[in-house]
């Protein structure tokens, strides 16, 4: 009987399984299963920073520019992002946790009829036609009521994002095929959703697996009872081990002790939401320090910086970089988790190569 994986095995597995050899844009999204989106550019959006390590010759903005020609959708899973179109059948028709009142339902019906007649619409066109006014948003400020209504219609599967114009979603009407809503059908969809997130974020500590399944309530709130039942089954079917008091889970067809997981010499600056670092609990267990996303932290309280990009070298996340770009030149500021920067020519060469790749990635086609 082979020995159980140790923490070193799990660390190498966590890196190797998601940093696969660069492929095509649709191939990378399909293999990842989901790419989290974020609007901040520092120096590029999170989805672009994630995809650049996994897509051949990827440039910032390629996903937005090619989106309309890809079998990809903007939608919700554990958070908002991009996923292969076939995954929508696992979540739609989606029932929101908070039903609309009669007045909101009436407005949505009017807007849907307008979009069906007009074709793809910009939120500005909807506001000009209906003049829904302003409303209080989640953060206590004021926002456009038409934009809020369109977001809700998108979430409920009445609209899809056709494309973006200068970053703003352009919507079109959509009808999702009917789903098997029997108990067996719901259970099957819930199990498939759990498999999707496990394959994206494994190996997972037990607490992170539970947390991820709870986050599926964002993408599929109407399947919450089924996902809890599917989680109990998943714990029995997934491979697992216990290391230093923590139980870890990963797909049963994977082997964390595989010799194929030997790290390469490449240094990578990762997005804050990259699968390697997304789970902060797992990050601390695997790399022994705490990474925080501080873009929304008051500047005087920041320890790592506004948009710190974790620095992965070989199999270790050794620090971070805050990167700005002015007139085609990068201005990086580095920090290290355990003292000064590593010494030696190998590290300097790997860092120089990554900065050159970053410069190429940010350059317009």
**Which CATH number characterizes residue 130's domain?**
1.10.10
Compute φ and ψ for 222, nearest 5 degrees: -75, -5
What local confidence, expressed as pLDDT, does residue 131 receive?
82
Tokens standing for 118?
């007009």
The three state secondary structure string of the chain is CCCCCCHHHHHHHHHHHHCCCCECHHHHHHHHCCEECCCCCCCCCHHHHHHCCCECCCCCCHHHHHHHHCCEEEEECCCEEEEEHHHHHHCCCCCCCCCCCHHHHHHHHHHHHHHHHHCCECHHHHHHHHCCCEEECCCCCEEEHHHHHHHHHHHCCCEEEEEEECCEEEEEECCCCCCCCCHHHHHHHHHHHHHHHHHHHCCEEHHHHHHHHHHHHHHCHHHHHHHHHHHHHHHHHCEEEEECCEEEEECCCCCCCCHHHCCCCCEEECCCCCCCCCCHHHHHHHHCCCCCCCCCCCHHHCCCCCCCEEEEECCEEEEEEEEEEECCEEEEEEEECCCCCCCCHHHHHHHHHHHHHHHHHHCCC
Domain presence at residue 83 = no
Nearest alpha carbon to residue 226 among 213, 210, 237: 213
In a domain, 201, yes or no: no
pLDDT lower than 70: segments of the chain: 1-2, 133-143
Distance from the Cα of residue 219 to its chain's centroid: 13
- Does residue 79 form part of some domain? no
The encoded tokens of residue 287 equal 């790399």
Which of residues 173, 197, 212 is at a domain's end?
173
155, burial (CB in 10 Å: exposed 0-12, middle 13-18, buried 19+): middle
Chosen domain end from 120, 150, 173: 173
Structural domain contains residue 271? yes
Q: Is 274 a member of any domain?
A: yes
Q: Find tokens 């966590």 and name the residue.
A: 14
State residue 138's pLDDT score.
Answer: 52
Q: Which domain holds residue 132?
A: 102-173
CA–CA dist 250, 254 (Å, integer):
7
Domain end (from 173, 198, 222):
173
Q: Is residue 275 within 8 Å of residue 201, measured between CB atoms? A: yes
Flag whether 3 is in a domain: no
17-45 b/e with 16+ CB inside 10 Å = b? Answer: bbbeeeeebeebbbebbbbbbbeebbbbb
Residue 355 lies in a domain: yes
With CA atoms as reference, report the closest residue to 261 among 32, 17, 31.
17
pLDDT of 139 reads 45
**50 touches 42 (CB < 8 A):** no
6 lies in a domain? no
Q: Across-strand partners of 45? A: none
Q: Domains in the chain: how many in total?
A: 2
């Amino acid at each position: 009987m082979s020995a159980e994986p140790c923490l070193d095995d799990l660390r190498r597995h966590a890196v190797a399984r998601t940093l696969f050899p660069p492929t095509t844009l649709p191939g990378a999204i399909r293999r990842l299963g989901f790419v989290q989106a974020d609007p901040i550019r520092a120096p590029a959006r999170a989805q672009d920073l994630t995809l650049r390590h996994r897509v051949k010759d990827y440039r910032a903005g390629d996903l937005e520019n090619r989106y309309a020609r890809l079998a990809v959708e903007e939608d919700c899973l554990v958070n908002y992002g991009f996923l292969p179109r076939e995954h929508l059948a696992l979540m739609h028709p989606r029932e929101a946790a908070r039903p609309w009142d009669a007045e909101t339902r009436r407005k949505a019906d009017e807007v849907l009829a307008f979009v069906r007649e007009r074709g793809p619409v910009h939120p500005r066109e909807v506001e000009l036609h209906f003049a829904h006014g302003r409303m209080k948003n989640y953060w206590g400020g004021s926002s456009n009521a038409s934009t809020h209504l369109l977001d809700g219609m998108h979430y409920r599967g009445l609209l899809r994002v056709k494309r973006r114009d200068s970053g703003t979603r352009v919507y079109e009407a959509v009808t999702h095929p009917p789903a098997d809503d029997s108990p067996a059908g719901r259970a099957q969809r819930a199990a498939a959703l759990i498999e999707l997130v496990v394959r994206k974020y494994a190996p997972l500590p037990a607490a992170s697996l539970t947390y991820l399944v709870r986050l599926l309530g964002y993408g599929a709130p109407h399947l919450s009872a089924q996902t809890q039942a599917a989680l109990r089954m998943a714990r029995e079917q997934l491979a697992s081990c216990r290391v230093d008091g923590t139980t870890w889970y990963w797909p049963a067809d994977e082997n964390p002790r595989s010799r194929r997981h030997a790290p390469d010499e490449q240094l990578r600056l990762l997005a804050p939401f990259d699968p390697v670092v997304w789970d902060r609990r797992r990050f601390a267990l695997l790399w022994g320090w705490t990474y925080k996303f501080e873009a929304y932290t008051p500047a005087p309280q920041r320890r790592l910086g506004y948009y710190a990009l974790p620095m992965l070298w070989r199999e270790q996340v050794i620090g971070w970089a805050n990167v700005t770009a002015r007139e085609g030149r990068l201005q990086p500021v580095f920090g290290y988790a355990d003292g000064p920067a590593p010494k030696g020519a190998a590290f300097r060469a790997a860092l120089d190569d990554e900065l050159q790749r970053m410069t190429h990635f940010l350059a317009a086609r």
